[in-house]
Structure 1
Amino acid sequence: MQRICVIGGSRYFGKLLVERLRATGHQVTVINRGSTRPPAGVEHLVADRDDEASLIAALGSRTFDVVVDQVCYTPVQAAIAARAFGGRTRRYVMTSTIEVYDPATAALPTAPTGTPVPEDGVDPATWLVAMDLPWHDEAYLEAHYAEGKRQAEAVFTRTGGFAFASVRSAHVLGGGAQEFTGRLAYYTERIRRGEEIPVHAQALPTVFIHYEELARLLLWAATAADFTGAVNACSDGLLEVRDLAATVAAQVGRKPVYRVVSAGETASPFSCDRHYAMSNTRAKELGFTFSRAVDWLPGAVAEALTASATPTT
């Protein structure tokens, strides 16, 4: 049994992670702002992670074996957490994102065309941190999501007091109505209604992960593995937007209607005009086994179709 603290963990794969940590016998503490209570048997601390004094007061004298941070988006949040948990935990795992590799958001090393990017494509140890940017402005943060995650990783990487690991998640799908971004529902609804799907003329592939697989990987990273640095979390196999739409179409019984976007026009989710895939080799070498995206995608589509057909109350 380990003492695990989860910051966030109130929805989607974070909620599932908390449930699995508890089910496997760990002593779990969840920290959030109080809007959602964790499952029975899980300690609940109410605190605003952006308020350092509030966070430290809520923690009291508690110490942990591992902290899993599900909701760190900025270097400011990372710095607060690093101070609050320094000396309280031996290991800190941050959920990060594939978007740290997006060449549209930063000057990044150019990988050979068609080559999934390994973790050293973004090195937090060398990344510039700017605390004085308007990270507390929601509009700014939304527009600079990838940079916020890069800088948060950089802060933790340079902080002593605990071993740090980041899990850079691929695009997460599955779970029906739990998939709160609505990106898969976008395709089920448009194809069902025969509406156009705006895509790039030459859409390039990206990678995905099922929400249950991501919860399983985070459980592994928190309780079974002892690596530091980043690991990429993606199911095996590259998919492009038309592959996704074809899987939906096969279950809906209608052909997708595509429209090629003009230069500068916004395309549909997962239509990538740049190479946007990452390698999961490091996680495999560390002992994690991934599923294939083509094996779980039909089930995820079926869940999305069921959720969209279920009346809301």
Structure 2
Amino acid sequence: MVMEKERGVSPREVLVIGGNRYFGKRLIARLLAAGDRVTVLNRGSSAPPPGTTHLTADRDDENSLNSVLGSRVFDVVVDQVCYTPRQAAIARRVFAGRTRRYLMTSTVEVYEYEDTIARVRETDVDPPSVPVDLQLPWNELEFLDAHYGEGKRQAEAVFAAEPAFPWAAVRVAHVLGGDDDFTGRLADFADRIRTGEPIVVPTVNHPATYIYVEEIADFLFWAVGQDFTGPINAASHGTLTTRQLCEAVAAHVPGGEVVFQEAEVGEVSPFSFRRFYGMDNSRAVRLGFTFGNARQWLGRAVAETLGQVN
């Protein structure tokens, strides 16, 4: 299929795959506010925001995708829910000739094997060098949950191999903020602080980089209008420790006390890390994006998540 649509400055035709919750819906709101024509593709379990065109298909079903897309073409595709190399392989075939740019939301977890005290750069995980195994049980939820970072690594590798269109992968730091945070991680801290239950951390507990929910929506909106390719790290300036996170939560729990319990092995509390999860964001800064500082937005992010914003 050959694209016949001439490039225009505005409005852009943007397809968002997934994106009905958290920072995805914030991205859609920004696109609509900018006058872009937004199409949302999902399985139909929830309606997209008003003002968008809704397509319903199973992204794992190549025939279904081809059928529902028909002759539609897009300036940019933003893929919020590509978790496996199989999904990436289907997308690469389906969207060849249908888009001028493909933007995949990836994760800091792609660096799960890069154990270092230095902030990881995009080049530390080079997609073309990542082995791909399409035969692994990627359709099994338990396997996928246990191999989340690996699934993203291999998905990036599929897009990088004989790319069918210009593509980029936004490696997103741990996201905080919003009254619609569905992860429950900060709420877990609040419950433990309220009851005096200990927060279990590794004996050596490393800090990590984070990004505010509104900031990652801003970043993705910015990235839609750029032309860079390959992976790019998205993280606010500065790092946060488990203690800093818990102290910010404790400020919203009257009478609560933060109690830590160290563990050399075994399961630990959310946002507690036996290795350093810090990302270098200098590539994005060089390209023109301005990040905030995590310590400056942390208080608001916690208040939003705990439902205590006035």
TM-score bin, normalised by smaller chain: over 0.9
1:53-73 CA distance string (max 9 Å, x none) = 001100000000000000000
Are 1:206 and 2:216 matched, yes or no?
Answer: no
Q: What aligned pairs does 1:108-187 form with structure 2 within 5 A after superposition?
A: 108=114, 111=116, 113=117, 115-176=118-179, 178-187=180-189
Report the Cα offset of residue 205 of structure 1.
0.8
What value does the CA root-mean-square deviation take over the aligned residues? 1.3
> What secondary structure sits across from 2:92 in the alignment?
helix
In the alignment, residue 237 of structure 2 is paired with which amino acid?
D
Instruction: Percent identity, please.
Output: 55
Aligned to 2:80: 70
Asked if the contact 2:202–2:265 (Cα under 8 Å) also holds between the matched residues in 1, the reply is: no
What's the TM-score once normalised by structure 2's chain length? 0.93
Find the aligned partners of 1:249 and 1:160 in 2 and give their Cα distance. 48
What's the TM-score once normalised by structure 1's chain length? 0.92
Asked if the contact 2:44–2:56 (Cα under 8 Å) also holds between the matched residues in 1, the reply is: yes
Asked if the contact 1:117–1:277 (Cα under 8 Å) also holds between the matched residues in 2, the reply is: yes
Aligned to 2:258: 256
Are 1:79 and 2:86 matched, yes or no?
Answer: no
Find the aligned partners of 1:295 and 1:243 in 2 and give their Cα distance. 12
In the alignment, residue 273 of structure 1 is paired with which amino acid?
R
1:245-272 CA distance string (max 9 Å, x none) = 11112332433011111x3211111111
Equivalent of residue 27 in structure 2, options 13, 17, 25: 17
Find the aligned partners of 2:191 and 2:296 in 1 and give their Cα distance. 22
Find the aligned partners of 2:162 and 2:98 in 1 and give their Cα distance. 14
Report the Cα offset of residue 160 of structure 1.
2.7
1:90-112 CA distance string (max 9 Å, x none) = 10000000000012xxxx4x54x
Aligned to 2:3: none
Equivalent of residue 222 in structure 1, options 210, 221, 224: 224
> What secondary structure sits across from 1:16 in the alignment?
helix
State how many pairs are aligned: 298
> What secondary structure sits across from 1:306 in the alignment?
coil
Find the aligned partners of 1:160 and 1:247 in 2 and give their Cα distance. 44
Asked if the contact 1:184–1:301 (Cα under 8 Å) also holds between the matched residues in 2, the reply is: yes
Find the aligned partners of 1:197 and 1:249 in 2 and give their Cα distance. 12
> What secondary structure sits across from 1:90 in the alignment?
coil
Deviates more, 1:270-279 or 1:61-70: 270-279
In the alignment, residue 219 of structure 1 is paired with which amino acid?
F
In the alignment, residue 269 of structure 1 is paired with which amino acid?
P
